[in-house]
A and B are shown apart, each in its own frame.
Chain A
Amino acid sequence: MAARQISLIGAALLAWGLVVAQDPPPIAPGKGGKAEKAAPRPEGQSPASKARPKTVTPQTYTVEQIQTGELRFGAQCGFCHGRDAAGGETGPDLTRSELVAQDVRGDKLGPLVRAGRVDAGMPSFQLNDSELTAIVAFLHRQMDEASTLGGGRRSVEPEDLTTGNAADGRAYFNGTGGCSECHSATGDLAGIATRYQGLTLLQRMLYPSGRPAPSPPKATFTLASGQTIVATLTGEDEFTVTVTDPLGAPQTYQRSAVKVKIENPMAAHFEQLSKYTDASMHNVLAYLETLK
């Protein structure tokens, strides 16, 4: 990651100024994300609400391949995704993965496994073709089996999450919770319940993340001239800020070399986590479920 020298910054920022003079518009759903792209998702469905996905293209594997894959998956993937691929300490349930459903003999899984999803904490795995095929075989088998179980272990169904009171949730949303200071039931949240349901809606309500990207943090640079330039923040630490330039490329600046202010709209969501009771959390979810 190359940090730019101060001498380059002026020109870069001026160039941006032409394009990004004001706040960038919120990233449209489906166009956000980082290196990875969201799998196509039909409107009105979320992974938790719709029927379990099934492998779309029939494909056959030998028993030996599946068994080999089961062992290898358990060793290298199982800690995060669960040995049965149904989710583990940090990794999602792959028996519900749209990517697995769409995959044909590793054409989608292979590149992902080999590249990793470093931002999401998944390392890259160096596997030869037969090793990869074995894992793919195992995942398709697990998906096929899980699709016949109907709510397997370690899963959360939308109907598990219907304990809240929507009226109380609405009052909290507009009152104590302060949600309405940033959100509107008829504005940004209109139809939210047709886009997300169940666990996905709850997770995004508590802390919007994942794909499509939520409102990203923004970095406001102030030049010596007093001109301000706003860019989307993609990463930061104590020493650097990384923003997306108008061409979509990441640019990293030393904090010591620029005057920059970061605003993160997600900060209010973090603050709220220490204020929710379980009842108010379920009530707000129930209210959001009414926004169809």
Chain B
Amino acid sequence: MRFFCSFAIGASLIGMAAAQGVDPQKLMNPPADAWLTYHGEYNGQRHSKLTQITPQNIENLKQVWSFQTTGNQAIKASPILVDGRIYITTPDHIWAVDARTGQELWHYQQPANNAFHIGHRGAAIYKDTVYLTTPDCHLVALDAKSGNVKWDVVIADSGKGYWSSNAPLVVKNHVLVGVSGDFDNVPGQLKSIDADTGKMQWIFYSTPPAGSKDSDSGGATGGQMWTTGTYDPELNLVYVGTGNPTPVLNGNPRPGDNPWTCSIVALNPDTGKLVWGFQVSPHDTHDWDANEVPVLVDAEFDGRPRKMVMQASRNGYFFVLDRTNGKNLLTAPFAAVNWAKGIDALGRPIRDTAKEPKEDGVLVAPNEAGATNFRPPSFDPQTGFLIVNAQDGYGIYFFKSEHGGYGWAGADYNITGKAFLRAIDYRTGKIAWEHPIGDGAGTAGVLTTAAGLTISGDNRTNVIAFRTSDGATLWHQNIGRVQNAPITYLLDGKQYLMVGGGTTLYAFALP
């Protein structure tokens, strides 16, 4: 109660209507004037119910402000918004920005470190604390108003080859944090950290550390969980995509399917125990992380109401599962694929061993960049379309014994590709429409709104609004390469669209 009162006074000073900390209830029912988590909502649909900005009036959309981050790291994060404050991240950095003016409120920078600085996906918030993962695998808890450090814990040993770009997922008082690590043979781990104290609550291994009896990965390491999961409060299950096994291109030292790499896993967030797993790429040898968003949808499938989880995966296949038990409902390709001989009884693609890396090279679709990647798709409930940034890409994959069994353990080269925004009808897996966005792999995530808008970016420097029903272009702005997913929210009764272009964050609204 004391917390509530002090926060209410602070909030009233800046004229906020909703004066509550971000409690579990609020996370389950986020208000329209907030974007509380990486996905906006636990279901990962990245769909907004806001309808002020429409296909008819979007041509009037104007830039309200822009915020320039420092450094040369593009914005690959999704901002979060609460109580009129935006939180945006790049590796080692987080800024709090006034959502009305674009002015910096505070900035925290992690001390210089030598871990990988490849990208950052965003921050998380719980009560009045903002959580930031860092390249050197710290989880830093910061006061949401001041940016002061409350506590700072190490979540993995960056000296062993781990790094973190992860936007944490907060469920109740659990801060779920993942890490990356493809260049060393290290176990895949997801940790739950107590949101108040920073103490570790549990750890889930997708591949077991030496001596563990938890699971049998067939000798594989890897399977890192570096993207943000989704959560079903009714089932009390968290859904997380897991990465590729290591060694990456050499599958010989790790026979079998290598569970739970390249999988969707359902975990109990209170214990970290695996409830079920579904492997989208058994025995991957192409770096096709299954870290794409496991999107939760409640709708009819084959005439029956279903609780589903769906993923357009990096390996080029779209999966619909019953999320109560992990049973497959549909598997269909959504991009160029040539690595599977069919679909097995469980709904998994059957790998064609002829397309595994070879000494003289094999031509494989998709390439390492993937048929899609971590940039979030969006599910539009009105049309039943999962709209995803897809690539028809080709690469050549090599492995010979002298490449060894550690880390990458092979060589691969992307040849070329073409990128499209594609609308997948979840009921059939068929492509309802596609819109070309340029050569190579796409870099933008997707947002849909109840007004029938789809917002994403092309492979050059445009943010583009499309009509969700047919993919027609409605509006665009040249803002720099979009490498993140847009968000939208209400502020003072007005709908805003927010998206990063290059290293700058832009806020748009109607006049």
B360 and A163 contacting across the interface, CB-CB below 8 Å: yes
B28 interface residue per 8 A CB criterion: no
Contacts of A202 in B (CB 8 A): 361, 396
Q: How far is the CB of B408 from chain A (nearest CB, A)?
A: 6
Known pairs A202-B361, A238-B462, A273-B363; A79 contacts B411 (CB<8 A): no
CB pair A239–B476 under 8 Å, yes or no, is yes
**Which residue from A83, A123, A209, A276 sits with its C-beta under 8 Å from B183?**
A83
Q: In chain A between 228 and 286, which residues have their CB closer than 8 angstroms to a CB of chain B? A: 235, 237-239, 269-270, 273-274, 276, 278, 281-282
Determine if A274 and B476 form an interchain contact, defined as CB atoms under 8 angstroms apart.
no
B354 within 8 A of partner (CB)? yes
Do most interface residues of chain A lie in helix, strand or loop, or is the interface mixed? loop
Which residues of chain A are near B336, meaning CB under 8 Å?
Answer: 274
Identify the stretch in A16-24, A70-78, A136-144 within 8 Å (CB) of chain B at 4 or more residues: A70-78
Considering only residues 113-172 of chain B, those with a C-beta below 8 Å from chain A are: 113-118, 135
Instruction: Evaluate contact between B464 and A238: CB separation under 8 angstroms.
Output: yes
Give, as a whole number of angstroms, the nearest-CB distance from A27 to chain B: 19
- Chain B nearest CB: distance from A222 CB in Å? 23
Q: Tell me the bound Cα distance from A230 to B39 in angstroms.
A: 46
A227 within 8 A of B: no
Describe B's contact surface by its main secondary structure.
Answer: loop
Q: Do B72 and A125 have beta carbons less than 8 Å apart? A: yes
Is the beta-carbon distance between A153 and B72 smaller than 8 angstroms? Answer: no
Compute how far the CA of A206 lies from the CA of B362 in the bound complex, rounded to whole angstroms: 12
Say which one of A56-64, A87-95, A97-105, A172-180 lies at the interface with B. Answer: A87-95
Within 8 A of A (CB), among B346-376: 354, 358-363, 365, 368
Q: Which of A7-15, A37-45, A154-162, A185-193 contacts B (4 or more CB under 8 A)?
A: A154-162
Q: How many residues does chain B have at the interface if contact means C-beta atoms less than 8 Å apart?
A: 53
Please judge, given known A-B contacts A153-B403, A206-B396, A238-B473, whether A273 and B408 are in contact too, CB under 8 Å.
no
Docked-complex contact B460 and A235, CB < 8 angstroms? yes
Assign chain A's interface to a size class: 35 or more
| Contact A79/B398 with A89-B368, A163-B360, A203-B413 known, Cβ cut-off 8 Å | no
Instruction: Evaluate whether A78 and B403 lie within 8 angstroms (CB atoms) in the complex, with A161-B361, A206-B363, A273-B363 already known.
Output: no
Is B107 positioned at the interface, with any CB of A under 8 Å from its CB? Answer: no
Question: CB < 8 Å: which of B72, B113, B410, B416 contacts A207?
Answer: B416
Bound Cα distance A276, B404 (Å) = 29
In whole angstroms, how far apart are the Cα atoms of A76 and B462 in the complex?
Answer: 27
**A88 and B408 contact, Cβ closer than 8 Å, known pairs A75-B115, A78-B183, A237-B438:** yes
Q: Which residues of B contact A153 (CB under 8 A)?
A: 402-404, 408-409
Give the residues in chain B near A274, CB-CB below 8 Å: 336, 338, 365, 394
* Contacting pair A160 B398 (CB below 8 A): yes
Interface CB pairs A-B, < 8 A, 25: A1-B478, A71-B114, A74-B116, A79-B118, A82-B183, A123-B72, A153-B404, A154-B403, A163-B360, A202-B396, A203-B415, A206-B415, A206-B416, A207-B415, A209-B416, A235-B460, A237-B438, A237-B459, A239-B462, A239-B476, A273-B365, A274-B394, A278-B358, A278-B362, A281-B363
Binding site for A on B (CB under 8 A): 71-74, 113-118, 135, 182-183, 287, 336, 338, 354, 358-363, 365, 368, 394, 396, 398, 400, 402-404, 408-411, 413-416, 418, 436-438, 458-462, 464, 473, 476, 478
